[in-house]
Structure 1
């Protein structure tokens, strides 16, 4: 499980980056329209979607591991719905602008506008440097890759404004627009998957199954649902019908504890289903006197058919003592 203090730090980082990007994107859009700078306008579209994502991540990270009696599904769905509407808006702006630009004169604008682009690239570079401290978190790892691409495109865009060559400007506009559209469509798809409860194919499923089975648990299936940028797990465990409610309760706690060690897992539901009892072949001629009632014999028989939670008390201790590696 991610340390709460680290989550708070990361939440503040995303919020700060979103607050810095929003006004800069507005300024880029304003001067882009005023000086008819196609590169600046397209870059501002990119800034808007980055800022929206950063602020949403900040809000979610701020509450993700807070204890609550009820899981806040609405909050995670809010991220998906917000991304959905922002994605539609950004795609519309990008396609509309490309269409307009191809039918009108395209300009890079005055040379000094490159300063705005380079300020944006410096902010991206600063965020990248800070995020490297949290690169072990999957969400940050993805954002680091995105930030590196942002920095490269912004440096290239600044060169395009300075050179102010028609073909170079066209190339930059198409390149940035393609990147924005690709990133937006990806987020749109993930938002749809999140809202419909799509069974998400993640490496977590196989790794978690191996870990649970190593503790002697009979894992029937694991379903993974993407909720926003995070995961909700539904684990089905098979147990013998004789298992007591107390043992089932302990088992659920163990499974949840293991599952939540995976990065990005915010909700775990465990369902226990009874296993079918094995049929034992019997004969009509049973010699009662040969049936052992000795305790040692009984222990030997029980050891041949161990239940998945036979050592459930020790299992809890083993989890605490064993360093789990993913």
Structure 2
């Protein structure tokens, strides 16, 4: 998806380059034959836009390269470097216009063929305005900094063409100082445009974090992934048109490597769906042990410190205990309504425990179907050889039991 966006940005740049070339030739030819030095200069200036476009195309093509051994994270920052080059060029133009504005106080523009020069100047303004809107819109759609920078640079062309038009009109009234004042004011505007573009490109090269809105969308995606008990250390950074990131997620301690990998892919998928420009999210998995846990043990009968049942699905009761920081705070005996079922007693008993949102089950023996039903729902299952519930709980908290 990111590569497709880069290709679209490149195509947009090529199209605009063709239009700029035609516009530059028109202004240069008309300026030369009409004797309008200001229009001729503006035409030559427009040719410089082709240089910045060439830099933009080069940056976009480099950014499309696949990661390799030398650049394992890809070439996306080439696009930011290209945007920086264009932005510095805008600042240079601002300086040139400022100097020209100061010099214009003592100069009077001379015009020989007003009609053709006026038509060309007005056409230049309209074309430059349309190109600026097109480039900025395409840049935002494709997340391309260089296209946006080019669009801002085309706004500069709107300004220069407007100054040219003003110079052509004011030449009739012999008022050079008005052109100078307008040029100085507009050069300050151009400087601000260039400053914004430089700032965005530099921040991207320095791995600036994207907007808080993007971060909130990723957090929302993380909170909706089944099996993620908690998360932290979320870091996002811009790299050209894409976003890279990393996050720490907490999962149940007994989660298998295969299940943990599947969960990481789901985290990346959901986050990428929320934020399409998120190209890579590095997910680190850490074990999670809640302060409060709901533990279950199949037992033979109710009473204080009951004996564990040898079978899971056909036990008489389930001893449900809530513990906090290793201390028992609540206990309950739940009768097993499926112990006399001829088939699938363990499966039904497992679903009963899932309805109670249990965290951990301690058993002597458990069937494969029952185990997978619980495990697939991220319930930890520990096997024990202890005879009574109290000693099994003690062994669990001492870390003596092994997760199946």
> What are the residue-to-residue correspondences of 1:24-63 with 2, within 5 Å?
24=23, 37=38, 48=48, 52=52, 54-55=53-54, 58=57
* CA positional deviation for 1:193: 1.4
Structure 2 counterpart SS, 1:124: helix
Q: Cα–Cα, structure 1 residues 280 and 86, in superposed 2: closer, same or farther, change >3 Å?
A: closer
Give the equivalent residue in structure 1 for 2:400: none
* Uncovered stretches (5+) of structure 2, i.e. residues with no partner: 294-303, 309-316, 320-335, 337-345, 361-374, 379-404
* Uncovered stretches (5+) of structure 1, i.e. residues with no partner: 313-326
Answer 1 or 2: which has greater helix percent.
Answer: 1
Q: Cα–Cα, structure 1 residues 47 and 172, in superposed 2: closer, same or farther, change >3 Å?
A: farther
Structure 2 counterpart SS, 1:223: strand
8 Å contact kept, 1:83–1:191: yes
> What are the residue-to-residue correspondences of 1:290-301 with 2, within 5 Å?
292=318, 296=349, 300=353
User: Match for 2:237 among 225, 228, 232?
Assistant: 225
8 Å contact kept, 1:36–1:107: no
Instruction: Quote the Cα distance in structure 1 between the aligned partners of 2:196 and 2:133.
Output: 25
8 Å contact kept, 1:125–1:147: no
Give the equivalent residue in structure 1 for 2:305: 287
* CA positional deviation for 1:287: 0.9
Structure 2 counterpart SS, 1:271: strand
* CA positional deviation for 1:206: 0.9
Q: Cα–Cα, structure 1 residues 297 and 90, in superposed 2: closer, same or farther, change >3 Å?
A: closer
Q: State the aligned residue count.
A: 305
Instruction: Quote the Cα distance in structure 1 between the aligned partners of 2:154 and 2:134.
Output: 13
Give the equivalent residue in structure 1 for 2:253: 241
Instruction: Quote the Cα distance in structure 1 between the aligned partners of 2:67 and 2:96.
Output: 44
| Segment drifting more, 264-273 vs 61-70 | 61-70
* CA positional deviation for 1:22: 6.0
8 Å contact kept, 1:84–1:192: yes
1:206 maps onto 2:206 in alignment: no
Instruction: Quote the Cα distance in structure 2 between the aligned partners of 1:62 and 1:14.
Output: 11
Answer 1 or 2: which has greater strand percent.
Answer: 2
1:95 maps onto 2:95 in alignment: yes
Q: Cα–Cα, structure 1 residues 132 and 26, in superposed 2: closer, same or farther, change >3 Å?
A: closer
Give the equivalent residue in structure 1 for 2:393: none
TM-score (norm 1): 0.67
Give the equivalent residue in structure 2 for 1:253: 265
Structure 1 counterpart SS, 2:307: helix
Give the equivalent residue in structure 2 for 1:123: 127
Give the equivalent residue in structure 1 for 2:75: 75
